Amino acid sequence: MRYIKELMPYIIIVVVVVLFRGYIATPVRVDGDSMNPTLKNGQILILNKLDKEYERMEIVVFDYKGERLIKRVIGLPGEEVYIKDNKIYINDEEIKDYSDSVITADYKRVKVPANSYFVLGDNRGGSADSRIIGMISIDEIKGSILFRLVPPTKIEG
């Protein structure tokens, strides 16, 4: 009995860490260059799993065919998105693009379905994003990025 009493604080710590990582926040590693220059390959980010309402320009992590991808939310549910002459339009209004990357090809007008998002990587020329893989369902999104752990900085956007 004394042995269990001595172990109890450690058991509580393990349970809290497991619950925290499972339901609140967890680290994720950037894999690839699709979010350059904002995020670099190998950086460690903290994912907020509680966030379920995403805003334009917020960076999200989602599952796509067994892979975790990190992209920026551009189009919200119900909006019409298209790209013309290296400019992004939402409902026929040009939006301020967070990326300096050049978009080499126009993208046809699409309506973002309910409970879905149109996402782009910041490295527009080297990103498999909604232009290729389609809209991202809210159910596929694991959460939004709170901050960069390694190196430690707040992520803009």
Annotated catalytic sites, by residue? Answer: 34, 71
Contact between residue 68 and residue 61 where contact means Cβ atoms under 8 Å apart: yes
What is the spatial distance between Cα 67 and Cα 61, in angstroms, rounded to a whole number?
Answer: 10
Cβ–Cβ under 8 Å, residues 60 and 54: yes
CA atoms of 10 and 101, how far apart (whole Å) = 49
Torsion sign across C-alpha atoms 141, 145, 146, 151: positive
- Peptide bond just before 37 cis, omega within 30 deg: yes
Distance CA 10, CA 84 (A): 57
Q: How many CB atoms lie within 10 A of CB 28?
A: 18
